[in-house]
Amino acid sequence: MKAVLEFTYPEDEANLRHALYGTKAIHALIDIQMAVRSHFKHDADPKDVLEKVRELTNTALNECGEE
């Protein structure tokens, strides 16, 4: 299978960026899922869990140039 994505720049810049960084977003979601699972497994404070989610989310967004 072959797929070709076509964007009109700069009008579609946001869509282009989403296509380019989609893999990083998936990996970030997996990291968040694993962190939450680990924290709950060890009866962590919910505030600690939320802080870890925030940290992982911010890192992922920074890597994608969204923040």
Spell out the SS3 assignment of 6-54: CCCCCCCHHHHHHHHHHHHHHHHHHHHHHHHHHHHHCCCCHHHHHHHHH
Rounded Cα–Cα distance for residues 51 and 67 (Å) = 17
Over residues 26-57, the pLDDT tens digits come to: 888 898 898 888 887 887 788 888 888 899 88
> For residue 66, is pLDDT > 80?
no
**Does residue 18 sit within a domain?**
no
Domain span including residue 66: 31-67
Q: How many domains does the chain have?
A: 1
Residue 62 has pLDDT above 90, yes or no: no
Asked if residue 48 belongs to a domain, the reply is yes
**pLDDT for res 1:** 93
Of the candidates 6, 17, 32, the residue with the CA atom closest to the CA atom of residue 63: 17
In a domain, 51, yes or no: yes
Asked whether residue 9 is domain-assigned, the answer is no
Residue 62 within a domain: yes
